[in-house]
Chains A and B, each alone.
Chain A
Amino acid sequence: MNGSEPISRRRLLTGAAAAAGGAAATSLLGACNAGSSGGSGGKVTLTVMFSAADLPKESIADFEAKNPGIKINLLEFDATRLNAMLASGNPPDITIGAAVGSANTNARGLATDLTPYLEKSRVLRKEDLQPVNNSFRWDGRRIGQGAYHGIVKDWSQDATLWYNTALFDQAKVPYLSDSQPTDYDELLAIAKRLTVRQGGRTKVFGLGVEWAWTLYGPIATMILQQGAQLYNGDLTEVDLTTAAARRAFGWFVDFGRSGVGPTSLNPLPDGSDQSTFSAERMAITQDGYFFGGNFVKDKALSGRVRMAPAPIMGDKRVSPCYSGQGAWIPVKAKHKDEAWKFMEYYMAGPPAETRAKSGWGLPSLKSLLPKLPQDLPYQKQAYSVAQRELQYLAPLPDSPYITVDGWNVTLDKHLQRAIKNQQSVDAACASVTTEINRLLKQGKERIG
């Protein structure tokens, strides 16, 4: 172009449009890279897949300040994404998972053996771990012994009860004992007395069992409490046609038919007991110690709630943990040492102390137990109940060949049919046995 040639209006507009387009494309390309976890100035980028609600930004900033060579890239936990990441051979460096049910993950060889790290650590010590962590142990055949493959973040004695004293007073029902467990049949009878119906609808539920959360936990516990076993020796078969299993299953059928509490046939709008219990529309909920965290800000309700021991079916007291959320490091993680540093910080550092003080669950470390809140009367009462229940903790059986979800879906399906009188309890237990054994066989064939 001749330098002295005047620029035409069309050419000017074309040039301007091209420049604007170029700028837009450049910024688009830049924006597209915004989330890239590429190099960050020589720092190690630690990919942490947690629930963001469990890992506030303040904790991330504190950890990064204390570990200047590590930058955290937080991914929201999503089971599908975790499976995709594991399948692609590019897993997160550390992720969350439940201790109960970890046998499946461990048998598939997905989790790193943390024992060498624990033996060297001055922060997380084996002798300080609560026994609930044993559900993360795996010796190649069963849980409870062998190497640690995860550390529990916090946990609850999930079969313990919370109840509303005002609703007990209205129904003229004596309060539950702080130290002695209530028999399950008696509990159902109490729930019937506490249930209030109005105009064909239930105004107050007598008892909630968090049906939507787990059925495997309470039914396995009931079987243990009767001194029976759910699985055979090598965890490849179950038998729910035993008297103990039929009694446990039958209790849930009676519960469903009585209408004293929500089930999958009559679910709550938000799926958990919390809103309904807080609205004083549920007299008892089987929800564990953590549930007390809900009442701290509700001054009125906190004066009307009490915790009670896990109910019992049989002679053996068992107060189990149904889940025990914790963290584990995938075998193919790229930054295991940094992930362990994060594990130490999260499980024994300031976040662990904050969690313990909040009362949202029991701490995973014995040394943190005294930090549990005892300022309010209900917190003191719950603390003493929880302390007494510790001695009755027993791990739930966990076969590597089936997931807890597999159990829950099968149990729910046959409980629904039995509640609707479409099959007897005996027939339902036989069907559950057949279907679970089929799943176990498939799992065994996959894992070997």
Chain B
Amino acid sequence: MDIGKTRPIAAARTATGRGTLRGPRRPRPGNGAAYVLLMALSVVFAGPFLWLLLAALKTREEWVAVPGSVLPDQVQWSNFTQALTDVNFAAYAMNSLFLSTTYAFLITLSSAAVGFGFARLRAPGKRAMFLVVLSTMMLPQVLTILPTYVMFSRLGLVNTYWPWVLWGLAASPYLVFLFRQFFAAIPRELEDAAIIDGCGWPRIFVRIFLPLSRPVLITAFLLSFTWSWGDYIAPALLLDVDHTTLSVAITSWYKDPHGNGIPTVQAAAATLYIMPVLLIFFFAQRHFVRSVVGSAVKG
């Protein structure tokens, strides 16, 4: 580290009353309030998950008890056992994993390709097309459910995983926007040099732009994986009982013989269900934050 270069800056900062770059931070009056606010928000966001976890550890009677207790009297691990054995949890988890991974992989690549096109290629009407793509984000999914079902039914694709492949290849407007913003910020000199070296556009995309866009690739994969993992409507509409996903199984099958849900077992199953997504986010959050912030400021 070149101390000689940093000292004048530090001195200047101290002189202007803004503190040093690397020196010990002085507590600011607003920091305490900010931490309190952040802690309160953490409780608000973590609260539902903790509540779910505690519900999963209670008996059905404790679940409805008044006055209720926050902690279970006796921890009911049996709810987790029941959640794993009442339905074929592992098989449905594999279905969910296969479907979500396939979909996320394909849609990440297709969205990157479309985003690259909008960011770097020239074509008449490109701007209008981009607006059309963005405007489809405004279309609520519920409006397209019936037509989508009818279309896949007529194509003979109901009860198969093909709709997820087709959706994956069709790109997502939001991810296209994300990639377009990211690619637009990459210096044009890079592609000029590649063109001079004889690279075609597909090669420029694969060899230059994709390797540079790791954070946004991870973010796109994470977002689309999470969306597909948590989706209930599409698998409920398009898949049969043996090939459906965990979201449908958890919603539909932890019930007594008369169809009443067993909330504590459902809570246990739901806790297991959200674990993979939480873990993925935990390990990938650095890339996620970086790419979202980056895409927001570039353009």
Q: Is the CB of A279 within 8 A of B60?
A: yes
Distance in angstroms from B94 CB to nearest chain A CB is: 10
Beyond A52-B253, A269-B64, A281-B66, whether A35 also contacts B237 by CB under 8 A is no
- Measured in the bound complex, the distance between the Cα atoms of B78 and A61 in whole Å is 29
**Cβ of B48 < 8 Å from any Cβ of A?**
no
A272-304 vs B, Cβ < 8 Å mask (1 yes, 0 no): 101110110100000000110110000000000
- Measured in the bound complex, the distance between the Cα atoms of B263 and A278 in whole Å is 14
B51-88 vs A, Cβ < 8 Å mask (1 yes, 0 no): 00000000011011111000000000000000000000
Distance in angstroms from B229 CB to nearest chain A CB is: 17
Q: Is the CB of B240 within 8 A of A28?
A: no
Q: Is the CB of A73 within 8 A of B102?
A: no
> Which of A35, A199, A281 is the one whose CB lies under 8 Å from B239?
A35
**Cβ of A36 < 8 Å from any Cβ of B?**
yes
**Cβ of A78 < 8 Å from any Cβ of B?**
yes
Range of interface residues on B (Cβ < 8 Å): 35 or more
Who on chain B is nearest to A355 by CB?
A: B257
Distance in angstroms from B136 CB to nearest chain A CB is: 21
Q: Is the CB of A33 within 8 A of B257?
A: no
Q: Is the CB of A76 within 8 A of B67?
A: no
**Cβ of A431 < 8 Å from any Cβ of B?**
no
**Cβ of A198 < 8 Å from any Cβ of B?**
yes
Partner-contacting stretch, out of B12-20, B143-151, B191-199, B206-214: B143-151
Q: Which residues of B contact A52 (CB under 8 A)?
A: 241, 252-253
**Cβ of B98 < 8 Å from any Cβ of A?**
yes
Q: Is the CB of A87 within 8 A of B256?
A: no
**Cβ of B244 < 8 Å from any Cβ of A?**
yes
> Which of A35, A83, A85 is the one whose CB lies under 8 Å from B243?
A35
Q: Is the CB of A358 within 8 A of B66?
A: no
Beyond A28-B102, A358-B257, whether A35 also contacts B242 by CB under 8 A is yes
Q: Which residues of A contact B153 (CB under 8 A)?
A: 84-85, 88, 90
Q: Is the CB of B253 within 8 A of A74?
A: no
**Cβ of B248 < 8 Å from any Cβ of A?**
yes
B257-273 vs A, Cβ < 8 Å mask (1 yes, 0 no): 11111010000000000
Q: Is the CB of A76 within 8 A of B236?
A: yes
Q: Is the CB of A34 within 8 A of B256?
A: no
Q: Is the CB of B240 within 8 A of A53?
A: no
> Which of A35, A80, A274 is the one whose CB lies under 8 Å from B161?
A35
Q: Is the CB of A290 within 8 A of B240?
A: no
Distance in angstroms from B140 CB to nearest chain A CB is: 14
> Which of B64, B236, B260, B261 is the one whose CB lies under 8 Å from A78?
B236
A8-37 vs B, Cβ < 8 Å mask (1 yes, 0 no): 000000000000000000001001111111
**Cβ of B218 < 8 Å from any Cβ of A?**
no
Q: Which residues of A contact B263 (CB under 8 A)?
A: 269-270, 275
> Which of B67, B149, B240, B256 is the one whose CB lies under 8 Å from A198?
B67
Most chain B beta carbons < 10 A, residue from A32, A51, A294: A32
Q: Which residues of B contact A360 (CB under 8 A)?
A: 257-258
- Measured in the bound complex, the distance between the Cα atoms of B60 and A269 in whole Å is 11
- Measured in the bound complex, the distance between the Cα atoms of B210 and A391 in whole Å is 75
**Cβ of A361 < 8 Å from any Cβ of B?**
yes
- Measured in the bound complex, the distance between the Cα atoms of B65 and A53 in whole Å is 27
Q: Which residues of B contact A291 (CB under 8 A)?
A: 258
> Which of B145, B160, B239, B248 is the one whose CB lies under 8 Å from A33?
B160
Q: Is the CB of A201 within 8 A of B67?
A: yes
**Cβ of A172 < 8 Å from any Cβ of B?**
no
Q: Which B131-185 residues sit within 8 Å CB-CB of chain A?
A: 145-146, 149-150, 153-154, 156, 158-162, 164-165
Q: Is the CB of B237 within 8 A of A202?
A: no
A236-275 vs B, Cβ < 8 Å mask (1 yes, 0 no): 0000000000000000000000000000000011111011
Q: Which residues of B contact A32 (CB under 8 A)?
A: 160-162, 164-165
Most chain B beta carbons < 10 A, residue from A52, A203, A271: A52
Q: Which B219-246 residues sit within 8 Å CB-CB of chain A?
A: 233, 236-237, 239-244
Q: Which residues of B contact A294 (CB under 8 A)?
A: 256
Listed from nearest, the 7 A-B pairs whose CB atoms lie closest are A35-B243, A84-B149, A279-B61, A88-B153, A32-B161, A35-B159, A88-B150
Q: List 26 A-B contacts (CB under 8 A).
A: A33-B161, A35-B159, A35-B240, A35-B242, A53-B253, A53-B257, A73-B240, A75-B240, A76-B236, A80-B236, A81-B236, A84-B146, A84-B149, A88-B149, A90-B158, A198-B67, A199-B67, A201-B66, A270-B63, A270-B64, A270-B263, A271-B261, A274-B256, A274-B260, A276-B64, A279-B64
Assuming A32-B160, A35-B160, A198-B66, what are 9 further A-B pairs, CB within 8 angstroms?
A31-B161, A32-B162, A35-B161, A35-B239, A53-B255, A88-B154, A269-B63, A275-B263, A294-B256
Chain A residues in contact with chain B, CB under 8 A? 28, 31-38, 51-53, 73-76, 78, 80-81, 83-85, 87-88, 90, 198-199, 201-203, 268-272, 274-276, 278-279, 281, 290-291, 293-294, 358, 360-361
